[in-house]
Structure 1
């Protein structure tokens, strides 16, 4: 069952209370899971049973997504602020330097947590921030189109589409290479999460000038990219390897932008190997 953690975060106008929804299961060293923009913590559900056998798994709804409210107006939905929020969350949960795995925006956040000394290892799945300006504009245009379509679509239509493989492909083929494998109820939840994300515009706007340009020394880093990623193209993984020369670069054959659903066993193994 999800839980809510509330804690203070500094702002220019004094501390502001932030609330984050999360779920926690398993035993072992802590592992923090971070989803992408417009998604929710349930994106990790296909891999959590395997991860929880070896790790204390904390999957998080980022601020303004899933069950987490958007940040107070005094706080930006940018990389430094969200990193500080996640650090404060770990402190509130009494977790010291967890392993961190993230997808897309979550991968970028995972790398930033590693760079700032808040993670003991990082696994980044198709992380944002290694794009050219043209690739960034393309990705943002796709995300805005997906968001607009999800907001326009009545829930009964989403539910009807989710009952067929063709309908699930229409709703989610941009992020999944094998959308037919996603359960109908999960596709409905994914679509509603995108439509109802209160932090979507603020997060996208804050990411318009983001580039990840620094190495992450001193900890194990894995960067993994789906061979069928249609949102952040796989060549960005090669660019990431140049910036993170000590990182392990892993190809995920047949996987799309959100690979946890396309090949749960492979993704779980990559995360566990990267955190050992």
Structure 2
């Protein structure tokens, strides 16, 4: 399965941290965290199949559990990493949880940031909720700087993702627009998760944190935050005044949460 990784570290002896992005995103979404994370980890920022710089193969299984297995395999065979911490956002958070379930001997900790998959009812719609954002990204990629400077256009793209849309940097907006507009794996990956939910068991040897913002409009509490399906030993954390992409709103806190889950001072 074509999975690409960019590696960031100050010391290759530091423990491995795998970062998994969400649907229509790319490894670039973690950019604001890298200066801090690479002081404590050897960071592998992944591009999932058909996202970022990763190709899309026509015969691959793109459901979260299959992606989890492929990431663990890729880390072993291509990067010689058999022990890792994992953090993921949205769909990436779901995949991170599945990695903890399928490979407890390889995954030491999971930080699931606003993970998908904890549905009250599994998604069955042919089209993802973020389809409008994808259409908008395809259009606005040609005049991003202008769109960023016009509040009504910026709000159109980001108000449903975060109530703190006014604070988003141009770099964050640019990276997310490019990733969404050019994601060949967007619809195939969505089809791969249709009718599915996270219901796997994670061994209690794997430390798990599940983190949601209290103002998540993408995966709201009454639709997609079913605590009963979370691992019993997981720490469930709610961040105040925070939306779906937690690392956009609170990068320092996100780094601290990943370090705390990984038991790194």
CA drift of 1:223 comes to 0.3
- Report deviation, 1:74: 1.7
Cα RMSD for the two superposed structures:
2.2
Q: How does 1:64-103 map to 2 (within 5 A)?
A: 64-70=50-56, 72-91=57-76, 92-103=78-89
Change (3 A) 1:187 1:139: farther
8 Å contact from structure 1 (residues 121, 220) kept in 2: yes
Under a length normalisation based on structure 2, what TM-score does the superposition of the two structures give? Answer: 0.88
TM-superposition CA deviations, 1:9-66 (whole Å, max 9, x none) = 5xxxxxxxx3524232244211111110011111111222222221111111111111
Following the alignment from structure 1 to structure 2, what is the Cα–Cα distance between the partners of residues 83 and 265?
27
Name structure 1 gaps, 5 residues minimum: 1-8, 10-17
Corresponding position of 1:181 = 167
SS at structure 2 position matched to 1:133: coil
1:158-186 C-alpha deviation (Å, 9 max, x unpaired): 33111245433322222233222222133
Residues 255, 228 of structure 1: CA spacing in aligned structure 2 closer, same or farther, 3 A cutoff? same
Q: Could you say which structure has the greater relative contact order, defined with CA pairs below 8 angstroms and 6 or more residues apart?
A: 2
> Residues 227 and 154 from structure 1, CA distance in 2 versus in 1: closer, same or farther, beyond 3 angstroms?
closer
1:8-23 correspondence runs (5 A): 18-23=2-7
CA distance in 1, matches of 2:235, 2:161: 23
TM-score (norm 1): 0.85
Structure 2 CA distance, aligned partners of 1:170 and 1:53? 36
- Provide the rounded CA distance (Å) in 2 between the counterparts of 1:243 and 1:174: 26
* Matches of 1:80 and 1:141, distance apart in 2: 19
Contact 2:118 2:229 in 1 (8 A): no
Find the partner of 2:26 among 40, 58, 73. Answer: 40
1:247: which partner in 2? 234
Shift of 1:207: 0.6
SS in 2 for 1:130: coil
2:8 corresponds, among 8, 18, 24, to 24
The yes-or-no answer on 1:52 pairing with 2:60 is no
Check the 8 A contact 1:99/1:120 in 2, yes or no: yes
Does 2:181 correspond to 1:214?
no
Runs of 4+ in 1 over 6 A off after TM superposition: none
Q: 1:98 to 1:148 in 2, by over 3 A?
A: same
Gapped runs of 5+ residues in structure 2?
A: none
Is 1:257 matched up with 2:257? Answer: no
Aligned mates of 1:201, 1:242 — CA distance in 2:
26
SS state at 2:54 partner: coil
